[in-house]
Chains A and B, each alone.
Chain A
Amino acid sequence: MTTTNPSDLRSQTQPDEATPSAHAEHQHHDARLFGLATFLVADGMTFAGFFAAYLTFRAVNPLPEGSTYELELVLPSINTVLLLVSSFTFHRAGRACLADRPQACQGWLAVTAGLGIAFLAGQMVEYFSLPFGLTDNLFASTFYALTGFHGLHVTLGVICIAVVTLQSRRGGAVSASSPFGLEAAELYWHFVDGIWVVLYALLYLL
């Protein structure tokens, strides 16, 4: 009947679970990235709900006379390219960090943050040049809600990059030996990027 086999009571190989300090520091490196990924699945479901609502509105609820789904394409397309490039630059930052080249890492991070800010600026320019406001019609409301919610994510991403850059400069908190903060920010950034691609296709191209 069961339970404890003494031969299995060998000391555990993972020091995080076995040492008391693990409780306070909770250095479960793998679990942390895994946890973030799980959370991003949840975040993605929020967007999925928005997209589903948008597509249903579009299929079922006709727009009032004189309104259109047409949007200006040049600026958002440039923005799309900016975000895609920023994913690449973030990836380079991550590799530089792992290769123990903190200066290069910080450089790539700065480029990434710059691209993110340029994206947000482009978004603002687009907002102010659009012919419709938040409450003009159902498409207008959905457009601002979706792009706004995404823009909020980009803003948070830029803040994360700033924090990670600071941690990398001070050394220790983000470095080749403890890259978690950087990896987490990178995973998040790629996620926000991926959401934008779907959003761009659905809102601008459809």
Chain B
Amino acid sequence: MTVADPSALQPGLQPRGWLRYFSFSLDHKVIGLQYLVCGFFFYLVGGALAGVIRTELVSPIADFVSRDTYNEVLTLHGTVMIFLWIVPVVNGAFGNYLIPFYVGARDMAFPRLNAVAFWMIPPAGLLLISSYLLAGAAAQSGWTAYPPLSLTTPAAGQVVWILSVLLLGGSSIFGAVNFIATVLKLRRPGLKMMQLPMYCWAMLGTSLLVVLSTPVLAGVLILLSFDIIAHTGFFNPALGGNVVVYQHLFWFYSHPAVYIMVLPAFGLVSEILPVHARKPLFGYTTMVYSIMGIVFLGLIVWAHHMFTSGTPPWMRLFFTIATSFIAVPTGIKFFNWLATLWGGKIALNSAMLFSCGFILNFVFGGITGITLAQVPFDIHVHDTYYVVGHFHYIVYGGTVFVIFAALYHWYPKFTGRLLNEDLGRLHFLLTFIGFNLCFLPQHWLGLNGMPRRVAEYDPAFTTLNQLSSVGALIMAISTLPLLLNVVVTALRGQSAGDNPWNALTPEWLTSSPPPVENWHGEAPLVTEPYGYGHTPAESGR
């Protein structure tokens, strides 16, 4: 098997150098980095919007922006962060970069579809943001777009929002089809499913969720756009419609969406911890079953978002119990990660610090999640800042911490250079302090009754809100060492060599950065991706 001159493979399609990152490249590694950089751009956009929110909330009156603008900003903040930063990066970026290596393939199953899926994102993102620039036209009904609110706020912005989310959902479905086909159909001969690195399982589970739930969101948004444009009455009570049906269909996607955002993070952290603790991943089989358990349970718990929507008692009971059950597979994963660290030769570098930060934050977010699943408590804190706090502990304290950990871990693979550890630790420290200062006080605010999604609040809540805003400022500052680090090391960073962490997963068994078709010869057969510090016979697997 020979790989000739790589540039000869796709004449006209594979420009060399940095220009290829702006091309319709079919190389999964280029596409992965396109997702990453594009997602990070939107992270900065979403972060700026969060900055507007927190600045407004420094004082109890709407003095920084008007109420309508505040509603636009919070809608765009949620939409941008979820659909343009977290979902594309934790799935698209790392999934595209790593999955072909992990299954021993030279690319994804459908490289062209892969490129199409990525190139749907920048236009959708620009469309979304442009709706904000057209004065008074941005969507104002939050990322949930609940009718009848979404039917009464300015229609143009809401329609643009729907179009943009439909495009992003389509991109997500194409990506998921590709991941499922790659993991199930493109595995190197001799590689068994139960020998795959855990991230493959996480992406398989996530992609199943995307395929089963995202189309339902697409369908319900199409019906919502009918209500706005054609004046049908699906979700308009005045025309005999039913708003609760919207909520059911919306949450049928948007609860699994939380797992679409965290399951890949579970997978990534399962790759990072064994390498930097020099120990095998504890409980591989239970990890696999708990991922699949979360996928199954994740599809049948959506109505716990609707305990105050006139949900009948039997439904409340069912969804409370089902939601509480999710703590079991999630708990299994936590104890597995702790057991992986236990007695390990831990390198407390930036990747490990962010991973440990993730474990801490996510345990906290997970526990507040269990409290929210209990109907009596949920009715008390529904639509308050308690929910905002909980959610951000999951998606920021959980997933974004893992994205940063993954960046420090795989940057040497992407570029052949190491990120600076001092700047990395500073980045971690600022992020960890800023994040907890920003979102921990929100739990008290919520318990005391401060509603979410409002620009004005009772002056009694001022101190805690200001504390939260200081935290947000520290989070904004924490981005600077990261940006500085990426730019400086890209120019003159320490050379990493091919495998700076002495890792055993397949992506490290080729050069850094890897050649166009991943391997210089045959793809290696890696049956023990976590065989650290012992002989295979002792692993118990």
Contact = CB atoms under 8 A, between A and B. Distances in A.
Nearest to B107: A23
B181 interface: yes
Interface string A10-30: 011110011111111010101
Contacts of B534: 1
Interface in A1-47: 1-5, 8-9, 11-14, 17-24, 26, 28, 30-32, 34-35, 38-39, 41-47
A137 B233 CA distance: 7
A9 B9 contact: no
Contacts of B184: 34
Contact of B177 (A39, A53, A135, A137): A39
B511 to A, nearest CB: 15
Nearest to A44: B215
A104 B94 CA distance: 48
A5 B109 contact: no
Contacts of B26: 23-24
A50 interface: yes
Contact of A1 (B185, B521, B535): B535
B177 A22 contact: no
Chain B CB within 10 A, most for which of A1, A9, A32, A63: A1
- Which label, helix, strand, loop or mixed, suits the secondary structure of the A interface? helix
A8 B526 CA distance: 10
B526 A3 contact: yes
- Which label, helix, strand, loop or mixed, suits the secondary structure of the B interface? loop
A12 B526 contact: no
A53 B223 contact: yes
B226 interface: yes
Contacts of A23: 9-10, 26, 106-107, 111, 516-517
Interface in A127-147: 134-135, 137-138, 141-142, 145
Interface of B: 1-4, 9-10, 13, 26, 105-107, 109-113, 173, 176-178, 180-182, 184-186, 188-190, 210-216, 218-220, 222-223, 226, 230-234, 239-242, 245, 248-249, 252, 504, 506, 509, 516-517, 521-522, 524-528, 531-532, 534-536
Given A1-B536, A3-B531, A41-B212, 15 more contacts: A3-B527, A5-B527, A20-B9, A23-B9, A38-B211, A42-B176, A42-B177, A45-B212, A52-B248, A57-B234, A57-B241, A138-B241, A145-B222, A145-B226, A145-B234
